[in-house]
Structure 1
Amino acid sequence: MSGVNLHLNEKDPVQQNRAIRDLFAGRSNAAGTVTLTANTTTTAVNALNCSAGSKVFLFPRTANAAAVVASTYVATVASGTFTITHPSNANADKNFFCVCLG
């Protein structure tokens, strides 16, 4: 789900109103999905809306993701990216929903 991307100098009230309606409907560019990299212990995620002070939340989408959730965490958050630390195994379908706020 993504919302309307407004330019910083947007003057069109129709576009501004649409962006506000999208936010009220729960749409934003803060949500996405990530698949943990198999056979390694870290996965880097590009997230344009993240900054160093952002909070990242992960929610398992698949059974293999749920199986590693207790030992999976967001290790670092920086401008435009975050890194997840997780167990290394061959499962290629460790899929998570992610939300980056702040």
Structure 2
Amino acid sequence: MSDSKSQPMDPAVVDKLLDGLSNDDDFRALFTKDPRAALEKVGHKVGSTDQLLCAQVTTLAPKEEIAEARKALHAYLTDRNAAAMTIIFNFEAGKVESSLPKA
């Protein structure tokens, strides 16, 4: 079981996640419908008690918004101090940049 509060995401997994969210309509649909399955599909093991499972994206950010914030998202999701349980909220339309800590 993963400890979503202390374990950063693997950089290779983050690359797959961001590639899917910024390029792949089928992956984006899966992420919106079932974030757990989407995260597992890119190689992120989600524990049964991870709090992100109760989160849903109301409106997924457009591919362009995710692509523009890719560098910041990658840094955040691989940061050992980032709370992985907020991953889902980082992809809400119109809120990608504002969901990330300021440098």
User: Which structure: larger Rg?
Assistant: 1
Structure with the bigger percentage of strand: 1
Q: Which has the higher helix share?
A: 2
